[in-house]
A and B are shown apart, each in its own frame.
Chain A
Amino acid sequence: MKRYSAWQLFREGLRGGKGWGMAWRTPKPKKQYDVVIIGAGGHGLSTAYYLAKNHGITDIAVIEKGWLGGGNTGRNTTAIRSNYFYPESAQLYDLSVRLYEGLSKDLNYNVMFSQRGMMVLAHSEPEMEMAARQYNAMRLNGIDAEFLDAKEVRKRAPILNYRDDARYPIHGAVNQPRGGTGRHDAVAWGYARAADALGVDIIQNCEVTDFLMEGGRCVGVNTAFGEIRSGMVAATVAGHSSVIAGMAGFKLPIHSYALQAFVSEPYKPVLDTVVLSPAVGTYISQSDKGGLVFGGALDRVPSYGQRGNMPVQEAVIGGLLEFMPALSKVKLLRHWGGIVDVTPDSSPIIGPSGVDGLYLNCGWGTGGFKAIPAGGYLLAHRMATGQHHEISRPFDLDRFTTGRLIDESAASGIAH
């Protein structure tokens, strides 16, 4: 792999960028691999990278029906945080934040992780009490947190609505200073380039059509390019996890919904942190280019159509204007939707699928981007060692049978 550096940037700047070369190969698939990973989104590529880097398994194909990073990895609002309520979730998402902190260096690719903080607003005294509970839970979980009063919130985000007659007056906030945003495409590209350099074959425009089963064991996949056999198969396909499960003959505790996001035209800097108002269900940050990036709740209609519906668009934009009325004349540039895999407890599924040889990394719902490094790291550990990492153990599929759910949606009151 040709290393990227300031020197190389300077050098290529002088020669018109002619020496950059391709960031990854476009290989023909072999007939047989040690591991086949379905889906070249962030989670699939990071699984491949950590299998190769941490466990020395490099005979891997990552098979993608479209282009790499073209699903939810390229459609999210790029927030990264670990401000969760339950210890299990805090450990999981904080592993991800810690990996993100070193990722640009690890991958030799700038993922532009900007730890600009993530504020969750409280709009009443009862909400302040719940905010204090959230703050205490975070501190007990070992996560950095600050409990801010209205004055402090105003200092950090003066663009919010501080009028006395505001429908949602701002009483304070819980802030996670290490939270922030990253560059979503760069995360996919960085993992792809680093995995490719370790020998991983990334095969794009190749849809998996079926599983090869022998004696009840999954021994490979049928694809648009023919049969590919493998010792282990991992499915990292987010909103399409139930479709993959259906091919293998089982069902998952997942509903697929559209989640919408929005970006405005570029504006001068008005907001240098991420702000979420749980009361109105909208969150927002400003990208380095100046676009105001925001999103909100799921569409309430189960869907595989990668676009959103009007009622949720109205609720998200209306909610935003409640706490940032100054944005009322802002023009939207784009709006889009991705299909997310929602579990009953809003927590992910990592580990064996129940079918021998087939592993799952899914169920991240609306929060998959922030978890990309951890999802790949933990699934790679489970596949390579045959044992769960202690952080991924609680997130095994078996929790739906034992009843030991990790019900973040009910506990934290934060959008996922």
Chain B
Amino acid sequence: MQIFTCPFCGPRDEREFHFIAEAGKTRPDTLNQISDEDWAAYLHSHRNEKGHVREIWMHTTCGELFLLERDSVTMEVLGSTALREAGQ
């Protein structure tokens, strides 16, 4: 069983968490025309890195979204960072 740390609640069982997306993706400005390629890249292209990863996870019991850094090979958790300024 892995323990992830919610910046709001503290360390909890992995079953309480849900993977949302890789960190660092920005939604294209859809008020302007964007190409199919750019939209497809936003929707579907992933770095899917082997090793150190930065991901957005949700602690489903409290709803907190946060940045989780971990190693995708050893599964070692390297740190949790709140995304809300008030939470930092």
- A interface list, Cβ under 8 A from B: 240, 242-243, 246, 251-256, 300-305, 309-311, 344, 400-403
Tell which of A300, A305, A344, A401 touches B37, judged by Cβ atoms closer than 8 Å.
Answer: A401
Number of A-B residue pairs having CB atoms within 8 Å of each other in the complex: 68
Q: Is the CB of A302 within 8 A of B44?
A: no
Contact B55 A302 (CB under 8 A): yes
CB-CB contacts below 8 Å: B60-78 with A:
72-75
Q: A302-B55, A305-B72, A400-B40 are in contact. Are A246 and B14 (CB under 8 A)?
A: no
- Asked whether B53 is an interface residue with its Cβ less than 8 Å from the other chain, the reply is yes
Q: How many residues on the B side are at the interface (Cβ–Cβ under 8 A)?
A: 25
Interface string of B32-56 (1 = CB under 8 A from A): 0000110011011111111101010
Interface pair B19/A301, CB less than 8 Å apart: yes
> B18 interface residue, CB < 8 Å from A?
yes
The answer, yes or no, to whether B12 is at the interface (CB within 8 Å) is: no
A305 & B47 in contact (Cβ 8 Å cutoff)? no
| Whole-angstrom CA separation of A254 from B37 in the bound complex | 16
Show 13 A/B contacts (Cβ-Cβ < 8 Å), sorted by A.
A242-B46, A242-B48, A246-B47, A252-B45, A300-B18, A302-B53, A304-B73, A305-B73, A310-B1, A311-B14, A311-B15, A400-B44, A401-B36
| Contact assessment for A300 and B19 in the assembled complex, using a CB-CB cutoff below 8 Å | yes
Q: Which of B1, B43, B44 has the most CB of A within 10 A?
A: B44
Bound-state Cα–Cα, A252 to B44, Å: 7
CA of A403 to CA of B36, assembled, Å: 9
Q: Is B30 an interface residue (CB 8 A)?
A: no
Nearest CB in chain A to that of B41: its residue: A251
Asked if B15 and A302 make an inter-chain contact with CB atoms under 8 angstroms apart, the answer reads no
Smallest CB–CB gap between B4 and chain A, Å? 9
Lowest 8 A-B CB distances belong to which pairs? A242-B48, A253-B44, A251-B45, A401-B40, A304-B50, A400-B44, A304-B73, A310-B1
